[in-house]
């Protein structure tokens, strides 16, 4: 009950023959009897399946948060690199808000024809 041993170790050390004995002891230590012990365990397959699905979703959420963190770090790195390059080479790399696309010169159009 202290958590120092798992079920298998308890079987070996105390010479317990069946799994039900350990479960009975756990239920007794928690003050549960018969029907209360059954009510506390997962009620049915659907509930167990939901718990598994919830754990999978939590794990997926954790992975996605980590991917987002990495993507944000990369974006910050690129932004910093652009700022350094703009200062070092004294040029505008980023398109300014509201900037218009340059129109092709007429001399280029004549070359194509």
pLDDT tens-place values along the chain, 113 residues long: 566 777 777 777 777 777 777 777 777 777 655 545 455 554 567 787 888 899 999 999 999 999 999 999 999 999 999 999 999 999 888 766 666 666 666 655 555 55
Q: Supply the pLDDT for residue 89.
A: 92
Q: How many CB atoms lie within 10 A of CB 23?
A: 13
Q: Supply the pLDDT for residue 88.
A: 94
User: What is the rounded distance in angstroms from the CA atom of residue 2 to the CA atom of residue 9?
Assistant: 13
Q: Supply the pLDDT for residue 17.
A: 74
Within 13 Å and on the Cβ side, how many CA atoms surround 89?
A: 9
Q: Rounded to two decimals, what is the model's pTM? A: 0.42
What long-range pairs does 26-30 form, CB within 8 A, spacing at least 24?
26/1, 29/1
Q: Supply the pLDDT for residue 76.
A: 96
Task: Supply 18's token pair.
Answer: 């069946």
Q: Supply the pLDDT for residue 43.
A: 54
Domain definitions of the chain by residue range:
1-41, 42-91
Q: Supply the pLDDT for residue 37.
A: 47
DSSP letter for 31, please.
Answer: T
CB 30 within 8 A of CB 1: no
User: What is the rounded distance in angstroms from the CA atom of residue 47 to the CA atom of residue 1?
Assistant: 26
3-state SS class at 77: helix
């Amino acid at each position: 009950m202290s958590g120092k041993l798992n079920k298998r170790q308890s079987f070996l050390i105390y010479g317990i023959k069946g799994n039900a004995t350990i479960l009975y002891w756990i239920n007794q230590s928690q003050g549960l009897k018969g029907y209360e012990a059954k009510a506390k365990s997962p009620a049915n397959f659907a509930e167990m399946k939901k718990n598994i699905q919830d754990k999978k979703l939590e794990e997926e959420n954790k992975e996605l948060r980590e991917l987002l963190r990495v993507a944000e770090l990369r974006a910050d790195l690129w932004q910093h690199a652009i700022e350094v390059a703009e200062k070092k080479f004294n040029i505008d790399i980023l398109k300014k808000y509201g900037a218009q696309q340059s129109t092709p010169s007429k001399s280029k159009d004549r070359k194509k024809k």
